[in-house]
Structure 1
Amino acid sequence: MPSPILPISNHPSSSASASTMLLKAKIDADPSTTLLISSQEKAISIKPVLPRSSSFNNTSNINNSTAFTNNQQQRRRRTASDSSLALLADESPRQSLSREVGHAAAETFLLTRLSLKLLSYLGVGYRWITRFLALGCYALLLMPGFIQVGYYYFFSRQVRRSVIYGEQPRNRLDLYLPKNSHGTKPVVAFVTGGAWIIGYKAWGSLLGQQLSERDIIVACIDYRNFPQGTISDMVEDASQGISFVYNNIAEYGGDPNRIYLMGQSAGAHIAACTLIKQAIKEAGEGDSVSWSVSQIKAYFGLSGGYNLFNLIDHFHSRGLYRSIFLSIMEGEDSLRQFSPEVLVQDSNIKHAVSLLPPIILFHGTGDYSIPADASKNFADTLRRLGGKAESILYEGKTHTDLFLQDPMRGGTDEMFEDLVAIIHAEDEDALAKDAVAPPRRRLVPEFMLKLAHNVSPF
């Protein structure tokens, strides 16, 4: 698969070399390679990070030495994160919104192109047509909640959108900050779901809003989806996002010693793969790391799948066809490498398992997208190997009940309260505040939530 190209703010001049023009032609011919060009980015003096393969700079001589070009690119990479933080601090709300609208338009164009390519893989059959129709009805029924959450996402001063954490496309994250800035806060690094295909950082905005109301900072990490990337790219992106959170969250009032990793659905699988891969790397000798599993207080998996061998036929029956799934997971030979439940049983990485933080897996027993046994079996396997793990099951809850319908229902949400109680377990003041916290307001009428439960394609 061709390597994606990062956002570029400067176009090549008319006197560009022949090699530059050939590269541009290659980009235009490849539908999976995308140039995200925002008109607002042209007005920003800070240059975004460029890929290793090319550098477009109108003020530089194309014939400069390779060493000079590499030095320029390295300086851009080192300053990418700092530049994004400085930009966020200097922009007015109007400039920030304008920049985000331009970025959203560019990403919409990107997602449209990727969706068309994805449809070429899936084909347009009866099963997918009915699922798309069900998805449209489901979204329409929850629209009152989506509108309110969307308004918060775009207009709240507590949200820092699209902070750059790496040099690849979609290497951005959103930060949700509590209104109370007194003292340092626990942090949840959250990887959203989306069947490895439609994941997006904004999907975590409802969770981010509600956790920030309990004095918890949330970082929603975006990552490349298929066909823009495969599972290795997703794990790499998640790892870079976690590293950025650990090394920069103190600037936002977060406590680097109280970071929790969380994922939902496909995001739970990606986050678990990332965590185990990091533990294996640390258990080896001489491997350099930018973050450590010892810095993660606990891992929360929500409605995730951890044994791909047990799930591939189930996904095929539900429309995520075997050929597509194997393409996402880089072939049948890679299933073991990206099945956390199978991987931890390898005797060669026994020491790596002992490095893992406590693992808590939430799942609804009524989940028909990923059966609850996926979490239960993974927790049982980890305990048998000496790890700290538990599964918490919620009777009758489906794949989307725990993440969308229940939070939009308002009042008391059992899974949410369990999550907050674990995060605040060692903070008596926070627990006291949780005990008197007002019930959350309802976002969607009950009858619409029940209809959404019935028509959900997930």
Structure 2
Amino acid sequence: MVARLLALAALLGLLGACSGLHTLDAVTASGGYQLTQGVAYGADPRQKLDVYRPTRPLPETPVVVFFYGGTWNSGERGDYRFVAQALAARGLLVVVADYRLYPQVRYPSFLEDGADAVAWTYRNIARYGGDVRRLFVMGHSSGGYNAAMLALDPQWLRKAGVPANALRGWIGLAGPYDFLPIENPEAKPVFFFPDSPPQSQPINQSLAGSPPALLIAATHDSTVDPVRNSEGLARRLRAAGVPVQERYYRRLNHRTLIASFAWPLRWLAPVLEDVERFVKAKPETAEVRLRE
């Protein structure tokens, strides 16, 4: 227990700095997957993705396309090997995609990139052993927003040539789904504040018929309010008849929610198990809500 607490203290201190993700990568096992790096899904240098193929794939191997956070102005796919390794070690095929960021682009260009990454996956992932019939999108923070918009607003995948029913489900990890008027100064120029379009919000979409959702958040998240965002979107999804599962964990914060995929921090909350269970399950018909 003492060793666990010391390791936790060291990692949590680093997670507040830019070196935190590199530290998680350093303690991530190199086994459990075969990596194909830098696959281009578009012409821009940022339009690339990595494919993590499990060394022990499941029958009908599910596929998860992951989008990282960073307020739409930072992030690198290589920093999230710890997420992909954790899922690949459980038999899932994982795609981690870069996308263009501000100031190079603003809304909705990064959604178009996300849709193109999903379209590449839809067309090509069978060659890597993935089952396109079991395709999910997942994201943390602003990446959770990206995943939500691709799942809830069908125009983005449709424009990329992906069928409307292609997604089996989606997972949002502390995503901002209802943030107008924008308070975060870094996000304001991304969404043309004060003229931010209402249709940019996941909660404002026509939700009926959208794929099942798993929403996970930290109870004490000071970056993205879980009550307004995760709970608020869950209520709207239920009202539209969409299956939704919720998980709220008091030991986590905004950063440690995604960091809990790394093995030294998994004891904080079973986020990895939540995602694994959701992806491997048969299509959901019941609502589930858990608050730790």
When normalised by structure 2's length, the TM-score is: 0.83
Q: CA deviation at 1:415?
A: 1.1
For residue 146 of structure 1, report the CA deviation from its aligned partner.
Answer: 3.0
Match of 1:163 in 2: 39
2:215 is aligned with 1:336: no
Q: Is the alpha carbon distance of 1:192 and 1:411 closer, same or farther for their aligned partners in structure 2, counting shifts above 3 Å?
A: closer
Other-structure match for 1:297: 168
Identify the residue that residue 135 of structure 2 maps to in structure 1: 259
Following superposition, the deviation at residue 360 of structure 1 comes to 1.4
8 Å Cα contact 1:336/1:343 also seen in 2: no
- Alpha carbons of structure 1 residues 290 and 368: separation in structure 2 relative to 1, 3 Å: same
> Could you tell me which amino acid in structure 2 is paired with residue 147 of structure 1?
A
Q: Provide the C-alpha distance between the structure 2 equivalents of 1:409 and 1:340, rounded to a whole number of angstroms.
A: 33
| Aligned residue in 2 for 1:361 | 215
Which of 147, 151, 170 does residue 26 from structure 2 map onto?
A: 147
Amino acid in the other structure paired with 1:254 = G
The structure where strand makes up a greater share of residues is: 2
Q: State the shift of 1:147 in Å.
A: 2.1
Give the whole-Å Cα distance in 1 for the aligned partners of 2:174 and 2:274. Answer: 15
Alpha-carbon RMSD across the aligned residues, in angstroms, is: 2.7
Shift of 1:144: 4.5
1:37 aligned partner: none
Which letter does structure 2 place at the counterpart of 1:293?
A: A
Q: Following superposition, which runs of at least 4 residues in structure 1 exceed 4 angstroms of deviation?
A: 134-137, 139-144, 410-413
Q: Which structure: greater helix fraction?
A: 1
Q: Percent identity between the aligned chains?
A: 26
Other-structure match for 2:278: 422
Q: 1:381 aligns with which of 212, 236, 244?
A: 236
Distance in 2 between residues matched to 1:376 and 1:139, nearest whole Å = 30
Structure 2 equivalent of residue 93 of structure 1: none
How far apart, in 1, do the equivalents of 2:103 and 2:151 lie? 23
User: Could you say which structure has the larger radius of gyration?
Assistant: 1
Aligned pairs for 1:60-71 within 5 A: none
Corresponding residue for residue 398 of structure 1: 253
Amino acid at match of 1:298: G
The answer as to 2:35 corresponding to 1:173 is no
Q: 1:333 to 1:274 in 2, by over 3 A?
A: farther
Aligned-residue offset at 1:281 = 6.9
What code does the residue aligned with 2:271 have? Answer: M
Superposed, 1:296-315 pairs within 5 Å as 296-309=167-180, 312-313=182-183, 315=184
- Tell me how far 1:198 sits from its aligned partner: 0.7
Query: How far off its partner does 1:375 sit?
Result: 0.6
Q: 1:218 aligns with which of 74, 81, 94?
A: 94
1:80 corresponding residue in structure 2: none
Other structure's SS at 1:301 match? strand
Distance 2:219 2:15 in 1: 25
Q: Which moved more, 1:138-147 or 1:257-266?
A: 138-147
Contact 1:380 1:390 in 2 (8 A): no
1:273 aligns to 2:127 (yes or no)? no
Separation of aligned partners in 2, 1:339 and 1:288: 19
Relative to structure 1, is the Cα distance of residues 403 and 343 closer, same or farther in structure 2, using a 3 angstrom cutoff? same
Amino acid at match of 1:175: V
Distance 1:371 1:425, change over 3 A: same
The residue aligned with 1:89 is none
Query: Taking CA–CA contacts closer than 8 Å with sequence separation of 6 or more, which of the two structures ends up with the larger relative contact order?
Result: 2
Q: Deviations over 1:228-248 (max 9, x none)?
A: 111211000000000000110
**1:190–1:221 Cα contact (<8 Å) kept:** yes
Give unmatched runs, 5+ long, in structure 2.
Answer: 1-12, 284-292
Q: How much does 1:167 deviate?
A: 1.9
**1:249-282 CA distance string (max 9 Å, x none):** 000000010011111100011221223332x578
Q: Tell me, what secondary structure is at the counterpart of 1:334?
A: coil
TM-score of the aligned structures, taking structure 1 as reference length: 0.54
Classify 1:386/1:332 alpha carbon distance in 2 versus 1 (closer, same or farther; 3 Å). farther
* SS class of match (2:55): coil
What amino acid maps onto 1:232 in structure 2?
P
- After superposition, what is the alpha-carbon deviation per residue over 1:180-209, rounded to whole angstroms, capped at 9, x for unaligned? 257441100111111111122123211100
Deviation at 1:388, TM superposition (A): 2.4
